[in-house]
Amino acid sequence: MRVLVVGAGAVGGFFGARLIESGADVTFLVRNGRRRQLATDGIRIANLDGTVAAVRAKVVSADDLHSTFDLILLAVKGTALDAAAADVAPAVGEETAILPLLNGILHIDVLEHRFGPGRVLGGVGLVATELEPDGLIRQLAPAASITFGELDGTITPRVSAIQATFATAAFESRVSDTIVQEMWEKWFFMAAGGTATVLLGGPAGTILTVDDGPALIGQVIEEAAAVVAAEGHPVREAARAQVAGALTTPGSSFATSLYRDFAAGRRTEVEPILGDLLQRAVTRGVPAPLLGAATVRLRVHDAATG
């Protein structure tokens, strides 16, 4: 199976490198600056034990993309979705499957509109990594997984083939027959965690140590859950327990990529993670004042960042 990974950043670079290590045929589609960096250094990953692994990878830029691939692993930020979809178009053939690992849900409509619904899968990528200025991908926590499946829940030969490709890589992978629900539940996780940490200014463990911090985290969780339920995807008990564990366990160091970008002064994915959910809350008439406050806070931050 020929795999094209779109984006060699914190998420795409990590999963693509792990696939290469397992022997998969992987090519990265990157911008020219990142291409030069990868040609010199390879994809470098700082592991949790302090060691750094460098993986040599095949890379192309959009101008050099002239053949199609079996699988396109789309791992860019939501702000780069439109540009990435345009760049990758020459690589999409009749049998190509597109597996996006983006936050939120809106990207599914964008990709189906451009490439057709039969080519797009649902996906949830879970990994805590950060791309440093010199191109190093630093892993921040041990868990790493990709869950994916057909949007209608059927188990098809193509998802089985993708699972066979993923099976020997150093991350967990799973085919799901409820992938759309799992995407909504990840969105709930990201929105609740992002709202709490951005609005309250620190990781969950710090918020829990101050007066009224735990109560406010509880309010954030309920707000996000109410919006998701109003959209027809009530959060299942296991997913709610996962969010509660991350946000309400004393000493938790949990913070989302949304908060890490905010704290580092970088532009954020406010619209696909918080803005879209806030708009849905308004449309459904669901009160979400904390979600709204965090959304505006990040919009102001992004406007100032430029």
Give, in degrees to the nearest 5, the angle at Cα 189 between 184 and 195: 120
Per-residue pLDDT of 134-147, as tens digits, reads 899 999 988 899 99
Q: Would you say 149 and 180 are in contact if contact means Cβ atoms under 8 Å apart?
A: no
pLDDT tops 90 at residue 105: yes
Q: What is the pLDDT of residue 156?
A: 97
Half-sphere exposure of 107 (CA within 13 A, CB side): 32
What's the Cα-to-Cα distance from 120 to each of 15, 33, 185, 197, 270, rounded to whole Å?
Answer: 19, 29, 19, 32, 24
pLDDT tops 90 at residue 7: no
Q: What percent of the chain has pLDDT over 70?
A: 100
Bridge partners for 146 per DSSP: 125, 173
pLDDT band at 39 (very low <50, low <70, confident <90, very high): confident
d(CA 288, CA 57): 45
Give, in degrees to the nearest 5, the angle at Cα 226 between 220 and 232: 145
Instruction: Dig out the tokens for 80 from the structure.
Output: 């780069």
Q: What is the pLDDT of residue 41?
A: 87
What's the Cα-to-Cα distance from 72 to each of 5, 289, 290, rounded to whole Å?
Answer: 6, 38, 36
Q: What is the pLDDT of residue 231?
A: 97
Alpha helices in 117-272, H assignment, sequence order? 157-166, 179-200, 204-207, 213-230, 237-248, 257-263, 270
All domains in the chain, ordered by first residue: 2-177 (3.40.50.720), 182-305 (1.10.1040.10)
Listed range (35-49, 155-169, 275-289) with the worst mean pLDDT:
35-49
Return the beta strands (E) in 65-136 as ranges.
71-74, 97-100, 122-131
DSSP state of 105: S
